Amino acid sequence: MSSFIIVSNRLPVSVTRVEGKLEFTVSSGGLATAMSSLAIKDQLWIGWPGIAEDNLTAAEKALITKELRKYNCHPVHLTSQQVAEFYEGYSNDTLWPIFHYFQAYAKFSHHYWAAYRAVNRRFLNAVKKMAAPDATIWIQDYQLMLLPGSVRNILPESKIGFFLHIPFPSYEVFRLLPERKEIIEGLMGADLLGFHIYDYARHFLSSANHILGTTSERGVIEYQGRRVQVDTFPIGIDYEKFRKTLNEKKTKAEIDRLSDRYKNQQLLLSVDRLDYSKGIMRRLEAFELFLNEHPEYMKKVTMLIIAVPSRTEVETYKNLRDEIEQTVSRINGMYSTVDWSPISYQFQGLPFNDIVALYAKADVALVTPLRDGMNLVAKEYVASKRGRKGVLILSEMAGAADELHESLFVNPNDIRQLATTIHQALTMSKKEQIRRLRTMQTRLSDYTVQRWGQDFLDELANAHRSHRGALSKRLSATAIDTMLESYSQAKSRLLLLDYDGTLHGFSNSISASSVRPSQRLKQQLKRISQQPNTKVCIVSGRPRKTLDEWFNDVPKLLLVAEHGAWMRKGDTWQQNTDHIDMSEVEKLMRSYASRTPGSIVEAKDFATVWHYRRVNPELAFIRNANLKRQLTQLVEGTDLGVYSGNKIIEVKPQMIHKGEIAKYLEVEYPSEFVFCAGDDYTDEHMFEALPKNAHTVKVGFGSTHAAHQVGRLERVLGIIEKMSTAPIAANRKR
């Protein structure tokens, strides 16, 4: 079993069949380089080896598993259909265009989604087989966004990190995805979610808040009893590899060849994978405009386009290739002379030495994607400029723009601006070029891909510790057993239970029917109430009418409504405070509700509540702050107080709170065993009022007066269930 596992769609070792035999080829990439530099013991990489399962015999699959073990890799085998529907389908025909803001290209297919889920399950089975219970598991990219959540379910003690290598779109675009909730829930299984730049992290937080109803503070989301850290880690490059490659004979020879080939010319370089997100067509249009407006550069400048083949069997990409090649031919046909063509176009990948030589030679690099997660070409170009001048023209829409501030920024959709910037780059002084390059090189040499990998893993460990430590008074299984033993042996027992957030989860609706207690819970409470010398009280902020409706068939249950304003013993409700006029409070709240879609005003007997659970999170943040400020001014000098709860603002009498009720019940029903559970600020009054020997439990994170904390309300429900069947010591009286 491995203690450190990387999971990605593809392994860093590819398996191919050559003349009937299987061959294993090690690929070099940013992630592989980062991991190789960390020298982590017991490291294992899980992924697809690149050859379809249906093209392999059982013996060949066994051979692949055995051989890959030599590279610390473990294969996840996929069928040809799964590759087509999971990778080419959902990953690249659905997620890729949505995440890159090309929603018109997105294809939504039930079969694609089913394949995506099935393949993520295959990866889950591999992780389950190979990972130690407390392993560190780092999951990579958009193909495996369901995996963090499913791994969390089977390995709850593991450290799980996820990094997205492409942009995360704004909520307005992400919401177009039919499976948006499942995707977000899958990602929420991680301890740490990493993105290239802050904008992507911000978009994710917004989407999570909209879709799951969560809130976030300082990049931390609290969800289902867990804390998920969201942060940015701009991936770097293997800087030294590029610098060393410049000294190799192959590279120097290629630079000399390029110098002869483009003698007396300035070279514009465009290197991209063939993809509609890269903006190659806009680049061609801008270069054509530049030639038209600056005829003096005829025979003095050449644009070299390297388009690396990508998804050549997909219709959209075929059409893009045809469009590019036709445009190149048209421009060359219009401007070429006998001894010069303005554009040199190559539809192929190049050896690493040749690429570095091109970077070193090129006077200008055009890196102008319409949308890109990071774009390492920009960084590679800068790194390859040792002692040479050069200008980087960079799209504002690339993640690299957040770091490479000395480049010339362009809006890739603005053809005229791009043409003007090409002229600016070609006329920039050598001194200025060198100054800009050196500043960027200092930054790139400091934050390399190796540093990126180490930073992520360090922060993952911190996030895991932070989550574990967030429940500083974590209720252990041993403590529960001790508590239940005390419960059984006690002469008398008193249970004080909050309802919303403690016995039932929250709902977007304030309707009582949406959060009605289950029959199972009511039966458990009924059995506990019928135990000798035992009193159970529901202490809620809900109106008395609602509590009556819910618990009228649990006769021995004590009920407290509106945080203590009302109490029911038997069939009679007792009023504990005088009415205070709240007409102005209600008027102000309703004025906010009328212009805040999704908000609701609830008028209780002794309190008025503004609910904003269904309000757009960004709007809710603004309205919440403004309303609370105005309410505080409105009730100043009165006996009313303004309180913030879980997606609510409540105005109620200051003297009414659950602490007073807890004190009263403790005196009214003196008990050897006292148990109290709650989840928010109103319950803190109870925790504080009860004696130190009381068994108090807070549901959720943060500081608390409670003796114990649990992450999820299911832990409290489990305790209630065990109490309902606990053996009570016989013949013991108060």
Q: 194: part of which helix (H) or strand (E)?
A: strand 192-195
Distance of alpha carbon 5 from alpha carbon 130, whole angstroms:
8
Tell whether the model's pLDDT for residue 37 goes beyond 80.
no
In single-letter form, the type of residue at position 350 comes to L
498 tagged catalytic: yes
Distance of alpha carbon 277 from alpha carbon 345, whole angstroms:
19
What is the reported pLDDT for 55?
87
pLDDT average, residue stretch 558-581: 91
Token representation of residue 307: 């388009």
Q: 520: part of which helix (H) or strand (E)?
A: helix 519-529
Q: Long-range contacts of range 578-582, CB-CB < 8 Å, 24 or more positions apart? A: 579/605, 579/606, 580/606, 580/638, 580/639, 580/640, 580/653, 582/607, 582/608, 582/640, 582/651
Query: What string of H, E and C letters represents the secondary structure of 567-611?
Result: EEECCEEEECCCCCCCHHHHHHHHHHHHCCCCCEEEECCCCEEEE
Distance of alpha carbon 148 from alpha carbon 182, whole angstroms:
12
Which residue ranges form the domains of the chain, and what is each CATH number? 2-232 (3.40.50.2000), 239-446 (3.40.50.2000), 472-576+656-734 (3.40.50.1000), 578-655 (3.30.70.1020)
More confident residue, 95 or 28: 95
The band of 509, judged by pLDDT with boundaries at 50, 70 and 90, is low
pLDDT average, residue stretch 545-558: 92
Distance of alpha carbon 171 from alpha carbon 207, whole angstroms:
5
What is the reported pLDDT for 730?
63
What is the reported pLDDT for 512?
62
What is the reported pLDDT for 138?
97
Distance of alpha carbon 219 from alpha carbon 230, whole angstroms:
5
Tell whether the model's pLDDT for residue 29 goes beyond 80.
no
What is the reported pLDDT for 38?
74
- Taking residue 662's Cβ as centre, other Cβ atoms within 10 Å add up to 27
Residue 224, Cβ density class (10 Å: 0-12 exposed, 13-18 middle, ≥19 buried)? middle
Length in residues, the chain? 734
What is the reported pLDDT for 734?
45
Token representation of residue 237: 């490059």
pLDDT average, residue stretch 471-489: 90
The band of 64, judged by pLDDT with boundaries at 50, 70 and 90, is very high
pLDDT average, residue stretch 73-90: 96
Tell whether the model's pLDDT for residue 245 goes beyond 60.
yes
Least confident of 124-138, 486-500, 509-523: 509-523
Tell whether the model's pLDDT for residue 614 goes beyond 90.
no
For the chain, helix, strand, coil in percent to 5 are 45, 20, 30
Q: Which of 498, 500, 679, 680 is catalytic?
A: 498
> pLDDT per residue over 394-430, tens digit each?
999 999 999 999 999 999 999 999 999 999 999 999 9
Question: Over the chain, what is the mean pLDDT?
Answer: 93
Tell whether the model's pLDDT for residue 689 goes beyond 70.
yes
Tell whether the model's pLDDT for residue 467 goes beyond 90.
no
